[in-house]
């Protein structure tokens, strides 16, 4: 394709004196654009000022034949930066809001200056530059904006509460600009770049920094701001190290409860698994249909009450508690026994009297949320402690971005974002000291999805979510839980944007029970860091979904043209590779993995490595001497228990039962320790056991019924090795026979993916071996059968007694080395649990094939979804708590008619 050019266009790059900003400026200068190189010339902490940095970049661009001019203003003076573009080049077409600083410090030690400076540069600076450029964009009916988020904003980062808040605010800000600008051909996107710079040197290890270059980020930005991009707007991209992926919001189906008196905190907690159920997710771009939800909720029967929550002895502080949502929170906390501090700048007294009239305890506090010390001191003076903080205070200053004034921006950021920071900062020392605290912060769907006329509000509200996520990480070890809600309710504040009938219908009392529930000690794990949309009796968690994206070779210069060619991969959420990142480590995963992606591997794949191919062929011809496995009823019972058999299921746990039997997936146990006649490290190039993953498992049961005691012998054989370029797939097949009779009992095929061992010139596709290589796709209809089963905290400890003693499943220190926070469950264990679900739902099967798609932590719940297609059952298994697949593309071929078996 032809080169993407920017001839005649003017690009403004803030913070362009070094790092990513400099790389932007040099690139656009080389591609024909006029460049305004803005840089204050200070340190990465925001200290000092110098013209040197910007001047050096300008000189570099000019020396290469480009056009550039320097600007030394702070981004707070965005109008002066844009004025430079208009004065020097007569127009502005592209704005890259890149300027940034760091002030990393734990929240307990954070000063107001640390907070204010970060917000001023990242949040106010991005606003000021965009606001100054906006009239020019609208007039010429053309504009392109890139705002800059970060992994710290998307997921929250320890020691970066200020930065996390500032960076996630850019998502809400961008989504709003995208909606307001679209009809004027103003395209706005946000990126979360991972690139080496002065800033990242303080938070990233040197070995990773060496593999990261700003050059990996530029091509994506170039594609997004090019005139050819007319529709990709309001989007979020993670980019760095040769990998690019898109993120979007994923909303759970949620729990709908009847509104009214039976909508209690306990009733919601009783439905908690539905609140967090992502088995039928949606991918919204705006607020839910709360009127329809309310109509449905009112048709439901009374809610089952669940556990009663008692707040006796606890002290709750609610900001903005004098009316609307805050009032409803105060009343419910008091009703359940809490002592309540009703904070309100206007009139806390009426709510205090209402609580006291009902026999509750309350005091008023008349102060701005920005005066957090005064708010929290009211609790300490009256009750000597604070246990719960609900940050609810807020204002609206809605205006189209083209007409927004600085005062409107500043007021909304101050009340919502700084107010939440100040009250939380005041409460934090008390929470730390008592090792207990509960915080509920308030974001908005206007922040999550953006909303016309609310650029200030969206930025503030999503900034609060960024703060919450960072606080949740810092507070976890001190038993301080921090959650965030996006409520829908009719209040005096929303009267300016809602019809009166909706204000009346959407009652604050429909939101309060969730807030009170989140502050309890009964919230199931994980009890912190959540985002929940709520209103009209509906409660649903919202999270990120990330596309599988595309990885480019790290030893080849990346170009915008290459990004365009890979665009369908980058934005594809439906190819089975999408995941749900929850922390910075997840955010780096794809980028770190891509560092092994080299073009030399691809080139080598075209070359035939005869030595490796010869070794593979020789290994295929080797015959095993056989490995014995002797078992009896005790081993059968141990296996059955290891995959969740219950004490009441006598055929599985009692040797004297008339129907005593091994669950069919027991067939993976006898072969597990069989000695292979070949060695992986002698066959494959660059083999490392740390790079090995269990990819697929096929089990064929050749003897019915399975003997409940026998001496077996297993004969492994190398079936094939597939060359996938970056990796190799080694398939082994093991036949297990009965020593006494010589009969085949089981046949197993196991595929292992070994990263870094490909590119030897072998076949890129495996042979078709019928059932063992079958590819199963779930039908596009609701499952015919669904079985849910919770694993236990001890599941991995029990299952390892079947022979897999890998310390990854028991030793926390070892699991951390493998990149897991806690020991994970054996893949063959949840394979067995899934097979058990198929067996109990449809009867015996003669073979079963699965693809391992994710990890399971002991204690998580599994959900097996099954579709009967003739004589086969197609199935997949999800982790209920995360909604992620752990087994995908699976199928079992039934024995006989496959009638449902009840045991």
* Residue found under tokens 């299921």: 649
Please say whether the beta carbons of 282 and 355 come within 8 A: no
**All residues at 6 or more sequence positions from 214 whose CB lies less than 8 Å from its CB, including other chains:** 19, 20, 22, 23, 24, 193, 195, 196, 197
Q: Does the annotation count 449 as an active-site position?
A: no
Dihedral Cα 764, 767, 771, 774, nearest 10 deg: 30
* Residue found under tokens 């190189």: 37
* Per-residue exposure over 579-614, b if at least 16 CB sit within 10 Å of its own CB, e if not: bbbbbbebbbbbbbebbebbeebeebbeeebeebbe
- Give the span between the Cα atoms of 643 and 352, in whole angstroms: 55
3-state secondary structure of 18: coil
Residue 196, φ and ψ in degrees, nearest 5: -70, 130
Please say whether the beta carbons of 182 and 232 come within 8 A: no
List the one residue out of 890, 825, 816 whose CA is nearest residue 856.
825
User: Which among 22, 120, 128, 167 is annotated as catalytic?
Assistant: 167
- Give the span between the Cα atoms of 844 and 703, in whole angstroms: 12
CB atoms within 10 A of CB 530: 21
DSSP 669-710: STTTTPPPSS-HHHHSTT--GGGEEEEEEEEEE-SSSPPSSE
Please say whether the beta carbons of 488 and 535 come within 8 A: yes
Q: Does the annotation count 724 as an active-site position?
A: no
List the one residue out of 128, 104, 100, 124 whose CA is nearest residue 39.
100
Residue 386, φ and ψ in degrees, nearest 5: -140, 130
Q: Does the annotation count 184 as an active-site position?
A: no
Q: How far is C-alpha 434 from the chain's CA centre?
A: 31
**All residues at 6 or more sequence positions from 734 whose CB lies less than 8 Å from its CB, including other chains:** 671, 674, 714, 715, 716, 717, 746, 747, 748, 749, 750
DSSP 708-764: SSEEEEEEEEEEEEEE-SSEEEEEEEEEEEETTT--EEEEEEEEEEEET---SS--S
Cis check for the bond before 100: say yes or no (omega within 30 of 0).
no
Residues written for the chain = 903
- Give the span between the Cα atoms of 790 and 524, in whole angstroms: 13
User: Which among 457, 629, 631, 639 is annotated as catalytic?
Assistant: 457
- Give the span between the Cα atoms of 138 and 389, in whole angstroms: 43
CA-atom Rg of the chain in angstroms:
30
* Residue found under tokens 């053309």: 142
- Give the span between the Cα atoms of 729 and 752, in whole angstroms: 6
Residue 532, φ and ψ in degrees, nearest 5: -130, 130
3-state secondary structure of 505: helix
User: Which among 24, 72, 142, 163 is annotated as catalytic?
Assistant: 163
Q: Distances from the Cα of 235 to the Cαs of 122, 164, 183, 539, in angstroms? A: 19, 19, 16, 25
> Residues with catalytic annotation?
163, 167, 457
């Amino acid at each position: 394709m032809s080169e993407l050019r920017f001839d005649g266009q003017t690009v403004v790059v803030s913070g362009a004196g070094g790092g990513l900003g400099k790389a932007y400026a040099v690139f656009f200068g080389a591609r024909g654009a006029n460049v305004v190189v803005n840089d204050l010339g200070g340190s990465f902490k925001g200290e000092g000022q110098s013209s040197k940095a910007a001047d050096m970049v300008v000189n570099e661009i000019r020396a290469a034949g480009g056009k550039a001019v320097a600007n030394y203003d702070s981004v707070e003076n965005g109008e002066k930066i844009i004025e430079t573009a208009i004065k020097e080049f007569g127009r502005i077409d592209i704005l890259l809001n890149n300027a940034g600083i760091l002030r990393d410090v734990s929240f307990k030690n954070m000063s107001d200056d640390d907070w204010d400076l970060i917000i001023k540069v990242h949040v106010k600076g991005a606003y000021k530059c965009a606001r100054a450029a906006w009239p020019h964009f609208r007039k010429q009916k053309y504009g392109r904006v890139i705002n800059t988020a970060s992994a710290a904003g998307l997921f929250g980062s320890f020691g970066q509460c200020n930065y996390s808040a500032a960076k996630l605010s850019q998502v809400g800000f961008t989504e709003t600009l995208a909606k307001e600008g679209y009809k004027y051909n103003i395209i706005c996107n946000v990126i979360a770049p991972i690139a080496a710079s002065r800033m990242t040197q303080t938070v990233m290890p040197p070995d990773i920094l060496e593999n990261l270059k700003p050059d990996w980020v530029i091509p994506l930005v170039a594609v997004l701001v090019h005139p050819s991009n007319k529709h990709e707007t309001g989007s979020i991209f993670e980019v760095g190290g040769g990998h690019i992926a898109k993120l979007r919001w994923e909303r759970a189906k949620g729990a709908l409860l009847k509104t009214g008196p039976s909508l209690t905190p306990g009733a919601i907690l009783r439905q908690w698994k539905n609140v967090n159920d992502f088995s039928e997710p949606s991918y919204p771009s705006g607020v839910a249909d709360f009127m329809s939800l309310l109509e449905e909720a009112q048709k439901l029967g009374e809610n089952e009450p669940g556990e009663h929550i008692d707040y006796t002895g606890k002290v709750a502080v609610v900001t903005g508690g004098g009316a609307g949502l805050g009032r409803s929170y105060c009343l419910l906390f008091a009703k359940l026994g809490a002592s309540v501090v009703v904070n309100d700048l206007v009139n806390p007294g009426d709510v205090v009297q209402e609580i006291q009239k009902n026999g509750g305890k309350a005091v008023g506090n008349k102060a701005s949320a920005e005066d957090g010390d005064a708010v929290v001191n009211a609790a300490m003076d009256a009750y000597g402690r604070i246990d719960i903080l609900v940050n609810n205070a807020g204002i609206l200053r809605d205006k189209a971005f083209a007409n927004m004034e600085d005062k409107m921006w500043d007021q909304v950021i101050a009340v919502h974002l700084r107010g939440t920071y100040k009250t939380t900062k005041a409460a934090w020392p008390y929470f730390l000291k008592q090792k207990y605290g509960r915080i509920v912060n308030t974001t908005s769907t206007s922040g999550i999805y953006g909303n016309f006329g609310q650029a200030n509000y969206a930025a503030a509200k999503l900034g609060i979510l960024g703060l919450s996520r960072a606080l949740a990480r810092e507070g976890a070890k001190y038993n301080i839980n921090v959650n965030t809600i996006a409520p829908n309710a009719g209040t005096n504040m929303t009267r300016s944007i809602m019809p009166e009938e909706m204000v009346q219908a959407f009652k604050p009392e429909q939101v309060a029970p969730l807030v009170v529930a989140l502050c309890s000690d009964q919230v199931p794990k994980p009890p912190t860091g959540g985002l929940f949309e709520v209103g009209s009796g509906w409660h649903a968690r919202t999270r990120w979904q990330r596309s599988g994206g595309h990885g480019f070779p790290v030893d080849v210069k990346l170009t915008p043209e290459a990004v365009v060619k890979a665009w369908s991969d980058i934005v594809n959420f439906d190819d089975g590779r999408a995941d749900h990142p929850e922390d910075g480590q997840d955010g780096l995963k794809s980028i770190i993995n891509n560092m092994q992606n080299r073009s030399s591997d691809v080139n080598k794949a075209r070359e035939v490595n005869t030595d490796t191919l010869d070794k593979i062929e020789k290994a295929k011809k080797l015959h095993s001497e056989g490995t014995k496995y002797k078992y009896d009823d005790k081993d059968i019972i141990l296996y059955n228990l290891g995959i969740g058999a219950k004490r009441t299921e006598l055929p599985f746990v009692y040797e004297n039962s008339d129907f005593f039997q091994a669950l069919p997936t027991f067939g993976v146990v006898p072969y597990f320790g069989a000695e292979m006649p070949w060695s992986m490290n002698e066959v494959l190039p660059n083999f490392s056991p740390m790079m090995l993953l269990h990819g697929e498992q096929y089990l064929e049961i050749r003897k019915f019924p399975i003997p409940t005691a026998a001496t077996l012998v297993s004969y492994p054989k190398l079936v094939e090795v597939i060359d996938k370029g970056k990796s190799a797939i080694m398939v082994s097949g093991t036949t297990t026979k009965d020593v006494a009779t010589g009969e085949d009992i089981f046949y197993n095929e196991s595929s292992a993916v070994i990263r870094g061992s490909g590119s030897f010139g072998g076949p890129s596709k495996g042979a078709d071996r019928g059932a063992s290589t079958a590819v199963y796709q779930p039908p596009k209809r609701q499952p015919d059968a669904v079985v849910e089963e919770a694993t236990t905290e001890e599941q991995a400890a029990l299952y390892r007694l079947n022979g897999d003693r890998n310390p990854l499943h028991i030793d926390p220190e070892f699991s951390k080395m493998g990149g897991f926070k806690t020991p994970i469950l054996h893949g063959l264990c949840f394979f067995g649990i899934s097979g058990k679900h198929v067996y109990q739902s449809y009867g015996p099967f003669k073979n079963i094939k699965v693809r391992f798609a994710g990890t399971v932590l002991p204690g998580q719940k599994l959900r097996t979804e099954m579709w009967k297609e003739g004589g086969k059952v197609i199935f997949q298994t999800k982790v209920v708590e995360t909604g992620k697949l752990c087994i995908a593309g699976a199928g079992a071929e039934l024995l006989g008619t496959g009638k449902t078996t009840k045991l």
